[in-house]
Structure 1
Amino acid sequence: MIARGLTLLLAGLTLGTSAAPPKADGADLLIRGGTVYPGGAAPFTGDVAVKGDRIVAVGPHLALRAARTIDAKGLIVAPGFIDPHTHMGPDLASPDAKRRLVPAFLMQGVTTAFIGNDGGGEIDVAGTLASAKKWPVGINYATYIGFGSIRAKVIGAANRDPTPVEAAQMARLVRQGMLQGALGLSTGLFYAPQSFSKTPEVVALARVAGVCGGSYDSHIRDESSYTVGLAAAIDEAIAIGREGHIPVHISHIKALGVDVQGTAPAIIAKVAAARRAGQDVTADQYPYDASGTSLVASLVPLWAQDGGRAALLKRFDDVALAMKLRAGMVENLRKRGGAEKLLIVEGPSKGRTLAEVAKAQGVNATEAAIAVIRQADPATVSFNQSEADIAAFMAQPWVMTGSDASGGHPRVYGSFARKYAKYVVADKVISLRQFVDSSSALTADTFHLAGRGHLRAGAHADVVVFDPKTYADRATYEQPTLTASGVRTVLVNGVVAVDGGVLTGKAGGRALSHKPKRQ
């Protein structure tokens, strides 16, 4: 009875607060005459009025007084964009106030981001969320608790199953994180030591997060043909959600590598079937044909990562394992399209492909990779996806915009702007409304972000105003830190963060804690 009572008490959590909206008897700011895409509804020409941190009115020809009026004629007015997969935790907790603004996101119109993805979420969820009170931030953020962090703390880097005592300890840490405000449980089952887990271990922890009303977010076990294969990894994610009684979100959905390119329709069919069967399954996607990870994750077989970096370095010099290890790296490089498709984006070899590094050293690509890894495990960009697959995934009504923002890849500075410029304007894969909805309302509604993702009275005043003629990405693989163009105004909880296309330096962001709904 106690367990059942706890389940009922914790079920159905939401993010943010639901305080009563202010009365619409005036406004601090009126955004007038723009083409308003309210999120989840048809666009119209009209106005958005803001008072304090809330939207007080939305509609055509609002008869409201305002302390300031912004002329949005010819511009798009939309809910602030929401990024469900980022690695911006260090920026948000930085002692550098300018870094905490997250300019790369604000200049794209992103006002909310999730952190702690890929199983890397901090165990101290309370501390992660409390950081915003000490260090004001430019955007809103919510966090996952990470399976990788938990497994590393309890088991370490070893390739083995947890003992019953360890399994119970991990479950307690998940519950603790959820009660402290975590959005859900994130996993990165492709990455060691998370890759050493078996499905039942993950199901047990997902079930704990599910009881607490959370979501299960996963970088699936295989996006290619490294281990179980893409199709089986999708099946596993769906099974974890079904058996764990928890919504499933697939991180940066893709078909990675030459062995699985062209399989997007089959993967889409799997997700669609699960959704028809009543499961809550969604995904996010970044609009690039290149993925981003580390050189070890790209090339080194998982068995060789057992025990962590120190153990791996010893295996490089183990005569008995040398042939097997190098053969595995050769095969993984083939899957990614060859050494010329792998760009190193940090460290001494920054800006060169693995093929170029190998040529400069006068060795083959595998030996060049080993030489680099002996010094460090640099971030890499791998060109491994087909445009047909990207377009197929993007067109699905359950796929939202995400960046997987991490250093060295232009997706940090360009994902949302690129999706608009390339896939709405240039290639016409999706409509402008689909772009806005998949970047705001879909994400907010999926993750129960109360009062966000929509432009309507009573909602938090997260708003982006952009020029449809000039909104575009500028970041490239050679220059990945160029800010996007075309954003004119951004409000974060009513604070003007971008004004006339220029950052104001004002930090209006908040930590969004996952809290029980009021009964």
Structure 2
Amino acid sequence: MTTRPAHDLVLRNARIYDGKGGAPYPGELAITGDRISAVGPAGTIPPGTGEREEDLGGLALAPGFIDAHTHDDRIVLDAPEMLPKISQGVTSVVVGNCGISLAPVTFTDNPPPPMNLLGDARAYAFASFADYAAAIARVVPAVNVAALIGHSALRLATMGDITRKASPNEIEAMQAHADEAMANGAIGLSTGLFYPTNAAADIDEVTRIAGRFAEHGGVYATHMRDEFEHVLDSIDETVTTATAAGIPLVISHHKCAGVSNWGRTLQTLPKIEAAASRHPVNVDVYPYAAGSTNLRADLVTDTYRIMIAWSRPHPEMQARDLIDIAAEWGVDIHEAARRLQPAGAIYFQMDEADVRRVMSSRLAMIGSDGLPHDHHPHPRLWGTFPRVIGHYARDEKLFPIEAAIHKMTSLPARVFRLAGRGSLAAGAFADLVVFDPETILDQATYDQPLRRSIGIGRVYVNGKLSFTAEGGVIGRAGRLIGGRNDG
């Protein structure tokens, strides 16, 4: 009688990064089904116990990266190969950030900014979160999806006039949506108080809605009301809200934007650290000194560079600087911006030293904040994770590679309550990335933002080989995760 091998696949001669921040070690790992069945130093797994065995030749083996901040809500359905992310070693994406989510709202006309960052009215086909969850299960994207529910989506689904605070009945309607979403696998709430669809909500409204998500074990991520002059006030508002709601907090893409605010992370980070000593608080950050969103009149200035990412009436102007467009048209930058609308832009509004300070914080997770529907996107969409490891950790020595990996694996898994994700341990899901620590690096630039990173050898999602450097995306095994989906 033939005995079946103990493991489906054994990966040997690996440089193990376990995701928890410890130094790498020579080791091996086994996969059975969608789980890690064994992992440890070389010699842990007996020879011949795998149906297949492969020698990684000393390459790094780490948990698949978790993108803590994305706007991939629609692209996981429309382009489920998810090449921009899986080619970076990303195996899970957190969608629904900044108050923007596909569910539970539909539109008959074009969605208002910033909802249009996810597409036109046809993109919004999900009146309930259950409908969105079913679409993910039907499509099977190449990466896992953890979904937040956007407060702007809730307001637009329940309010006729979003320029005011929600009434008690409207808040109850939003709470009912929260119940439905969390029952069907959502992981929490996001707000985008910076945006007009969300700006009229006060602490009371947000607290009552966040509190309902908290009752279901959710988390709260927020694009704060102000990341410019009033950033300290916004931190206070954010922490007050989360504490009153009894919900863990994530401050999205923490930054001090605008030239007059450069250097103020010396003030913001101690404030956030102090709050984190009293309440669960984390931040996410992308490794670039430029941000990107809709082209907004209140962000147009000549104090920093602005590049156009897309323009509906003038698509020929994408990838060009606003100041050059204005000069060509013989108008000032404000009139040029008006003529380009609706449009998106890349804003070079942060200081590199601030970006490094935020990334270095023990509270910081890595999130790309990429906008996959932009015609000329910010390079963070394709380059974030190899840039953190290759440029900042390896080359700049801002922190060790194992610390970088912690920020993109076990830390976001813990913060977003993604059970069984983010670490290399027996029984954990087999989301894995094999990479070369000596060569991993981003290639996407502001001028050529669609270039694939180098140094990622292969990626496994839920135990299935899904990407190789040579073959691209060769399988899709993603699923909705978090909430009531895993464990």
Relative to the length of structure 1, the TM-score reads 0.84
User: Equivalent residue of 2:390, what SS?
Assistant: helix
In the TM superposition, residue 25 of structure 1 has moved relative to its aligned partner by: 5.6
Partner of 1:305: none
Instruction: Give 1:128-139 correspondences, 5 Å limit.
Output: 128-139=132-143
User: Equivalent residue of 1:55, what SS?
Assistant: strand
Partner of 1:77: 61
**How far apart in 2 are the matches of 1:44 and 1:383?**
39
Pick aligned residue for 1:343 from 304, 307, 319: 307
Pick aligned residue for 2:97 from 104, 110, 117: 117
**How far apart in 1 are the matches of 2:162 and 2:52?**
60
User: Equivalent residue of 2:368, what SS?
Assistant: coil
CA contact (8 A) 2:155 2:162 kept: no
**How far apart in 2 are the matches of 1:257 and 1:69?**
53
Deviations 1:41-89 (A, max 9, x none): 3321010111111111111222142233332223111000001111111
User: Equivalent residue of 1:42, what SS?
Assistant: coil
Residues 1:365 and 2:333 are matched in the alignment: yes
Residues 1:240 and 2:238 are matched in the alignment: no
Deviations 1:267-304 (A, max 9, x none): 11111111222x000011110111010112xx24xxxx
User: Equivalent residue of 2:92, what SS?
Assistant: strand
Pick aligned residue for 2:166 from 162, 169, 176: 162
User: Equivalent residue of 1:114, what SS?
Assistant: strand
State the one-letter code of the partner of 2:356. Answer: A
Instruction: Give 1:206-217 correspondences, 5 Å limit.
Output: 206-217=210-221
Partner of 1:15: none
Partner of 2:454: 485
State the one-letter code of the partner of 2:406. Answer: D
**How far apart in 1 are the matches of 2:259 and 2:425?**
45
Partner of 2:484: 515
Greater Rg over alpha carbons, structure? 1
Instruction: Give 1:374-389 correspondences, 5 Å limit.
Output: 377-389=342-354
Pick aligned residue for 2:370 from 398, 402, 405: 405
Deviations 1:244-267 (A, max 9, x none): 110000111111111211011211
User: Equivalent residue of 1:151, what SS?
Assistant: helix
State the one-letter code of the partner of 1:343. Answer: M
**How far apart in 1 are the matches of 2:175 and 2:206?**
10
**How far apart in 2 are the matches of 1:500 and 1:160?**
51
Specify whether residues 508 and 158 from structure 1 end up closer, same or farther in structure 2 by C-alpha distance, changes over 3 A only.
Answer: closer
State the one-letter code of the partner of 2:259. Answer: V
**How far apart in 1 are the matches of 2:350 and 2:54?**
41
CA contact (8 A) 1:28 1:52 kept: yes
User: Equivalent residue of 2:163, what SS?
Assistant: coil
In the TM superposition, residue 175 of structure 1 has moved relative to its aligned partner by: 2.2
Deviations 1:10-55 (A, max 9, x none): xxxxxxxxxxxxxx96222221111101111332101011111111
Specify whether residues 280 and 501 from structure 1 end up closer, same or farther in structure 2 by C-alpha distance, changes over 3 A only.
Answer: farther
Instruction: Give 1:92-491 correspondences, 5 Å limit.
Output: 92-94=76-78, 99-121=79-101, 122-123=103-104, 124-156=128-160, 158-225=162-229, 229-277=230-278, 279-296=279-296, 299-300=297-298, 332-334=299-301, 337-338=303-304, 341-347=305-311, 348=315, 349-373=317-341, 377-406=342-371, 407=374, 408-491=377-460
User: Equivalent residue of 1:485, what SS?
Assistant: coil
Greater CA deviation, 359-368 or 70-79? 70-79
**How far apart in 1 are the matches of 2:359 and 2:140?**
34
User: Equivalent residue of 2:74, what SS?
Assistant: helix
Specify whether residues 504 and 387 from structure 1 end up closer, same or farther in structure 2 by C-alpha distance, changes over 3 A only.
Answer: closer
Specify whether residues 255 and 88 from structure 1 end up closer, same or farther in structure 2 by C-alpha distance, changes over 3 A only.
Answer: same
Specify whether residues 25 and 396 from structure 1 end up closer, same or farther in structure 2 by C-alpha distance, changes over 3 A only.
Answer: farther
State the one-letter code of the partner of 2:65. Answer: F
Greater CA deviation, 284-293 or 55-64? 55-64
Structure 1 stretches lacking a partner, 5+ long? 1-23, 301-331
Specify whether residues 157 and 414 from structure 1 end up closer, same or farther in structure 2 by C-alpha distance, changes over 3 A only.
Answer: farther
Pick aligned residue for 2:19 from 13, 16, 39: 39
User: Equivalent residue of 2:240, what SS?
Assistant: helix
**How far apart in 2 are the matches of 1:157 and 1:343?**
33
Residues 1:68 and 2:64 are matched in the alignment: no
Deviations 1:296-346 (A, max 9, x none): 2xx24xxxxxxxxxxxxxxxxxxxxxxxxxxxxxxx434x724xx000011
CA contact (8 A) 1:157 1:192 kept: no
Paired positions, count: 449
In the TM superposition, residue 394 of structure 1 has moved relative to its aligned partner by: 0.9
In the TM superposition, residue 516 of structure 1 has moved relative to its aligned partner by: 9.0
- What's the % identity of the aligned pairs? 34
Deviations 1:414-437 (A, max 9, x none): 000111122112211111111111
Relative to the length of structure 2, the TM-score reads 0.89
**How far apart in 2 are the matches of 1:517 and 1:211?**
19
In the TM superposition, residue 196 of structure 1 has moved relative to its aligned partner by: 1.4
Partner of 1:322: none
